[in-house]
Amino acid sequence: MAHASTQGHHDAHHEAPSGFFRRWFMSTNHKDIGTLYLIFAGLMFFIGGAMAMVIRAELFEPGMQLVQPYFFNELTTMHALVMIFGAIMPAFVGLANWMIPLMIGAPDMALPRMNNMSFWLLPFAFTILLSSFFLPGGAPAGGWTMYPPLSIQGGDGIAFLIFFVHLSGISSIMGAINIIATILNMRAPGMDLLKMPIFVWTWLITAFLLIAVMPVLAGGVTMLLTDKYFGTSFFNAAGGGDPVLFQHVFWFFGHPEVYIMILPAFGIISEVIPTFSRKPLFGYKAMVYATASIAFLSFIVWAHHMFTTGLPLGAELFFMYATMLIAVPTGVKVFNWVTTMWGGSLTFETPMLFAVAFVILFTIGGFSGIMLALVPADFQYQDTYFVVAHFHYVLVTGAAFGIMAGVYFWLPKWSGHMYSERWGKIHFWLSVISVNVLFFPMHFLGLAGMPRRIPDYNVAFADFNMISSIGGFVFGASQLIMVGNIIYTVFFAKRKASDRVWEGAKGLEWTVPSPAPHHTFSVPPVIDDSLLAHGDVSH
């Protein structure tokens, strides 16, 4: 059975990997494009990380040491943009490209050429964004949220940021359309919607969110562009507009965006935990419904980012309660992950370690989120390091740890070799300790009143900042171990991975050889429910 699914490829496809340019620049292969996405995301992770290192170095001690204040603002702005649009999102799309066709028994993505364009827009988009460092007036420095009037009072960089958003938005929308069409149209016969792996489900919903909100951001930044360069008054009160309007438009995009960056991680964790618990996922259908509920709620909570802008009381109450409602489906998920582990035969290989850390640390980020959702409390926390701590817990120990779990989990399937478990564990323990040293003190700093996006601070905050910076340097350096481990696995490792790779792994992706051949499932595979993780879900 194991190799039956790939036999058809010799006669069905005449295009094996060819010359370098044809293979990587003209590709229609979901695996090659997925690899490109992942390499690009890794590169951006280190560029954004380098900016974070400079930020933490400047904040190591009170007073101005390393950089000019304006450059510091450029760094905080660009760090966020690079990490969100360059590292987290492309990494998830890369994983989707690699795994979704394998998981649903499809030969490739539904629209393979558009897939290639989705990827190749990204390096160009980031060329535009990063080139703004070399402009007169420098890179955008008004924060990644681009709030007017500040953002349009800076240098020329804002135009580059806006066109960057347009290009990466086009890329995201095309990628999302492709993923939806793939999942809805390319499933092998017998792969019912409610037999799909949770990772596929979370991506289906994420793709819908992307198509719904990326155009709204495009509209918002277009208004910013015309306000600065063409004399419109969308955000100018003297003309009857309102700067707060931008915040509404931005966060209508921005809050679903938060879930765009976490739902696929939920999916990865929902694959990893059952595998290493050797048990089916607890509450499969509840997971699907919880994901859909979170996605729905994400559209009606955006103004919790704007509690201090002077919203009417009724709006503050509505957005507070709607926000707290999200804790319910999220709680369902955390409960299900824990219950999946309960009574399982657990082993703790590197992907499982990252997954368990994800469950605990993401939940901490979720709890600080509930604190921030309380309007009167938020009046205190607004724009302090407490907010910085909150979103780094959900984005670094949440999204990024989810990606790392996924990379270690699927790397043997991609490369055909086992990574070094020892160095994987060293990477994990260094990361999980240092990341808490890095971000946990920020809670205390924020509660004590330290504002975010400031290069200098009161000496009262000195100790915690120094601790945080030390954690930051260790965390940054630890990530080089992962790179080393990946390079070792792909090019030098001797130990072959089996097709199934992990003892408890279930699903179609584990029925193809390791490394996965260039073309898989050229003819629809015959689905055997006992091979699927959720083949026995009744509906």
Partner 1 sequence: MTQQGAYYVPHKSIWPIIGSVGLFVTMFGAAHWINGQTDLGRPMFFTGLAVIVFMMFGWFHSVIGESIRGSYNSQVDVSFRMGMMWFIFSEVMFFAAFFGALFYARNFSVPWLGGEGHGLFTHHYLWDHYTATWPTNGPGNIGGKFSVVAPWGLPLLNTLLLLSSSVTITIAHHALRAGRRRQLLVFQALTVLLGASFLYFQAHEYMEAYEHLNLTLHSGVYGSTFFMLTGFHGLHVTLGTIMLIIIWLRCAKGHFNRENHFGFEAVAWYWHFVDVVWLCLFLFVYIM
For partner 1, the closer of residues 26 and 39 by Cβ is 26
Q: How far is the CB of 125 from partner 1 (least distance, A)?
A: 8
For partner 1, the closer of residues 225 and 403 by Cβ is 225
Q: How far is the CB of 456 from partner 1 (least distance, A)?
A: 31
Per residue in 499-532, is it b (16+ CB within 10 Å) or e — as a string? bebbebbbbbbbbbbbbbbebbbbebbebeeeeb
Q: Which neighbouring-strand residues pair with 496?
A: 417
Residue 533 CA to residue 277 CA, distance in Å, equals 13
Q: Which of 32, 74, 227, 257 is catalytic?
A: 257
Question: Is residue 213 near partner 1 by the rule CB under 8 A?
Answer: yes
Restricting to residues 249-288, name those near partner 1 by CB under 8 A.
249, 252
Q: Which of 166, 228, 279, 333 is catalytic?
A: 333
Residue 298 CA to residue 85 CA, distance in Å, equals 19
Which one of residues 75, 186, 395, 400 is an interface residue with partner 1 (CB under 8 A)?
A: 186
Q: Give the up-direction half-sphere exposure of residue 253: CA atoms within 13 A in the CB hemisphere.
A: 20
Question: Is residue 299 near partner 1 by the rule CB under 8 A?
Answer: no
Q: Which neighbouring-strand residues pair with 252?
A: none
For partner 1, the closer of residues 43 and 371 by Cβ is 43
* Residue 74 annotated as catalytic: no
Question: Is residue 305 near partner 1 by the rule CB under 8 A?
Answer: no
Which one of residues 73, 77, 116, 479 is an interface residue with partner 1 (CB under 8 A)?
A: 116
**Tokens of residue 445, six digits:** 């700093």
CA 87 to chain centre: 7
Question: Is residue 14 near partner 1 by the rule CB under 8 A?
Answer: yes
Question: Is residue 127 near partner 1 by the rule CB under 8 A?
Answer: yes
* Residue 172 annotated as catalytic: yes
| Integer CA distances (angstroms), 272 to 38, 265, 288, in order | 19, 11, 16
* Residue 144 annotated as catalytic: yes
Q: How far is the CB of 527 from partner 1 (least distance, A)?
A: 15
Question: Is residue 495 near partner 1 by the rule CB under 8 A?
Answer: no
Q: How far is the CB of 6 from partner 1 (least distance, A)?
A: 13
Residue 425 CA to residue 268 CA, distance in Å, equals 19
Question: Is residue 192 near partner 1 by the rule CB under 8 A?
Answer: no
Q: How far is the CB of 147 from partner 1 (least distance, A)?
A: 16
Per residue in 47-81, is it b (16+ CB within 10 Å) or e — as a string? bbbebbbebbebbbeeeeeebeeebbbbbbbbbbb
Residue 403 CA to residue 91 CA, distance in Å, equals 7
Which one of residues 344, 513, 515, 524 is an interface residue with partner 1 (CB under 8 A)?
A: 524
**Tokens of residue 148, six digits:** 């007017």
Which one of residues 521, 527, 533, 534 is an interface residue with partner 1 (CB under 8 A)?
A: 521
Closest CA to 119 of 130, 409, 17, 111: 111
- Consecutive H or E run containing 509: none
For partner 1, the closer of residues 135 and 430 by Cβ is 135
Restricting to residues 389-418, name those near partner 1 by CB under 8 A.
none
Question: Is residue 27 near partner 1 by the rule CB under 8 A?
Answer: yes
Question: Is residue 135 near partner 1 by the rule CB under 8 A?
Answer: yes
* Residue 248 annotated as catalytic: no
Tell me how many residues contact partner 1 (CB under 8 A). 86
User: Do 362 and 273 form a contact (C-beta atoms < 8 A)?
Assistant: no
Contact window for partner 1 (CB under 8 A) among 48-56, 103-111, 334-342, 465-473: 103-111
Residue 179 CA to residue 186 CA, distance in Å, equals 10
Q: Which of 37, 144, 381, 502 is catalytic?
A: 144
Contact window for partner 1 (CB under 8 A) among 169-177, 197-205, 265-273, 452-460: 169-177
Token pair 């499809």 is found at 106
Which one of residues 57, 218, 447, 531 is an interface residue with partner 1 (CB under 8 A)?
A: 218
Question: Is residue 451 near partner 1 by the rule CB under 8 A?
Answer: no
What letter represents residue 381's amino acid?
Y
Which one of residues 62, 112, 190, 535 is an interface residue with partner 1 (CB under 8 A)?
A: 112
| Integer CA distances (angstroms), 248 to 146, 219, 237, 252, in order | 12, 12, 15, 6
Helical residues (DSSP H) of 230-305, grouped into ranges: 243-260, 263-277, 284-297
User: Do 441 and 467 form a contact (C-beta atoms < 8 A)?
Assistant: yes
For partner 1, the closer of residues 15 and 456 by Cβ is 15
User: Do 421 and 502 form a contact (C-beta atoms < 8 A)?
Assistant: no
Task: Find the farthest-apart pair of alpha carbons in the chain and give their distance in angstroms, rounded.
Answer: 71
Question: Is residue 107 near partner 1 by the rule CB under 8 A?
Answer: yes
**Tokens of residue 517, six digits:** 């051949």
* Residue 452 annotated as catalytic: yes
DSSP 536: T
Contact window for partner 1 (CB under 8 A) among 154-162, 276-284, 439-447, 473-481: 154-162
* Residue 171 annotated as catalytic: yes
Restricting to residues 224-253, name those near partner 1 by CB under 8 A.
225-227, 229-234, 236-242, 244-245, 248-249, 252
Q: How far is the CB of 106 from partner 1 (least distance, A)?
A: 7
User: Do 197 and 533 form a contact (C-beta atoms < 8 A)?
Assistant: yes
Question: Is residue 320 near partner 1 by the rule CB under 8 A?
Answer: no
Question: Is residue 147 near partner 1 by the rule CB under 8 A?
Answer: no
Q: Which residues carry out catalysis?
A: 79, 108, 144, 171-172, 255, 257, 259, 270, 304-305, 330, 333, 452
